[in-house]
Structure 1
Amino acid sequence: MRSLKLSKAFTLIEPGPVVLVTTHDGKQNNIMTLSWTMVMDFTPRFAITTGPWNYSFRALKKTRECVIAIPTVDMLDKVIGIGTCSGADTDKFTRFGLTPVPGRAVKAPLIKECLANIECRVIDIVKKHDIVVLEAVAAYVDTSRKEKRTVHAVGDGTFIVDGRTLDRRKLMSSKLPAGV
């Protein structure tokens, strides 16, 4: 093995998939791209890493709600575009040809073109580490969508695309929650 700079260690375990997080500040919708997400448990609780450097953070902090939308590989260029411009001066839904769909539990919109959408409420903001803890209140999946592969950011401008699904449900049955 050869040494790797510690500043690049995160590229070895960068989580995924890359997601789009929508917010609504009372006047307008916005979308931000995030690759730092984490499933916290089966309840369902999630964590994202973001802070004041993202335009959407103000709306997220104020409204304490958002939608995690899960794009697929065919949307990668739009996902990158969304992450490289600001909602302060760009209507990202219009610019990237995405369709906002009203949520049932939160004011932030779902994204019609995404494989799945999870409506969430903020239950904690851990300022020291810029971690926003979310609790899902509704979830949707587009089972008719042909493309289902998600993408995972490596952190250096490259991405990994999901591949084969390996079924090990029998081996893991004692650790899986009921109904999964």
Structure 2
Amino acid sequence: MSHTFKFPHLKAVPLEKAYRLITHGPTVLVSAQDQQHTDVMAAAWACALEFQPAKVTVVLDKSTKTRDIIERSGFFALQVPTRKQLKMVHAVGNMSLYAAPEKLRQSGVELFQFESYDHIPVVQGCSAWLLCKLIPEPHNQQQHDLFIGEVIAAYADDRVFRDGHWYFHEVSDDWKSIHHVAGGHFYTIGEPVSVNDKV
């Protein structure tokens, strides 16, 4: 796996600003590895939970191998994929590592690791990454499939996120985040608007 020095646009995001990476409701990729397996899945139900310490939640169905890996390893990453990764996102969201051992290769997933976090695999080509330590909540996990993570590091590509703000309006459509509706149908993020805009 590669390291951050090969990706000059990847910059650390202060943890107190990490929530901004997912508050616009994107479909995310969830990645994790244990002693035996590495997996990536898509999830539509992920959100920020607390500012300090930064925490997130994500819903992971019991049928997914990624969930099993996270429960074993205690770590996972949420990342914000881009429009150019749509087919890959759809593939990892509809293919199980249980049934397809070559899932990541077949889906075209390329992984790397951030320095000092070689136990958390992350997906190349995304616009943002949140590295998380699982906060075990057995009741929530079993009854509601709800997983809570403390964000221990966050990064973003500074071509699209910098100084605590997204700049989707300054980049090509390929960089826009995707938002799953149902049945393989997605929207990309729209145009920026402000309460100070004249209407």
Higher helix share: 2
Q: How far apart are residue 157 of structure 1 and its match?
A: 3.4
| 5+ residue gaps, structure 1 | 1-14, 170-180
SS at 2:129 equivalent:
strand
Q: 1:109-128 maps to which residues of 2 (within 5 A)?
A: 109-125=121-137, 126=140, 127-128=142-143
Task: Report the identity percentage.
Answer: 22
Matched, 1:137 2:152: yes
Residue 78 of structure 1 deviates from its aligned partner by 0.9
TM-score by length of 1: 0.77
Aligned residue number for residue 68 of structure 1: 78
Q: After TM superposition, give the deviation of residue 116 of structure 1 in Å.
A: 1.1
Residues 20 and 69 in structure 1, CA contact (< 8 A), matched pair in contact too: yes
Corresponding residue SS for 2:175: coil
Q: Which among 93, 106, 111 is matched to residue 95 of structure 1?
A: 106
Structure 2 equivalent of residue 152 of structure 1: 179
| Residues 88 and 109 in structure 2, CA contact (< 8 A), matched pair in contact too | no
Counterpart mapping for 1:2-17 below 5 A: 16-17=25-26
**2:92/2:104 contact within 8 Å kept:** no
Deviations 1:96-132 (CA, angstroms, capped at 9, x unpaired): 3332112333612111211111110111331221100
1:124-154: CA deviations, max 9, x gaps?
3312211001111011112246543111112
What is the rounded CA distance, in whole Å, between the counterparts of 1:46 and 1:166 in structure 2? 26
Q: Give yes or no for contact 2:58–2:147 (8 Å, CA) kept in 1.
A: yes
| 100 and 167 in structure 1: CA distance in 2 versus 1, 3 angstrom threshold | same
1:33/1:80 contact within 8 Å kept: yes
- Assess if the C-alpha contact under 8 Å between 2:132 and 2:151 holds in 1: yes
- Structure 1 residue 39: deviation in Å? 1.1
Residue in 2 that maps onto 1:29: 38
Residue type matched to 1:150 in 2?
S
Q: Which amino acid aligns with 2:49?
A: M
SS at match of 1:47: strand
Which residues in structure 2 correspond to 1:53-64 (within 5 Å)? 53-64=63-74
Q: Which runs of 5+ in 2 are unaligned?
A: 1-23, 161-170
CA RMSD of aligned residues (A): 2.1
CA distance, structure 2, for counterparts of residue 98 and residue 22 of structure 1: 11
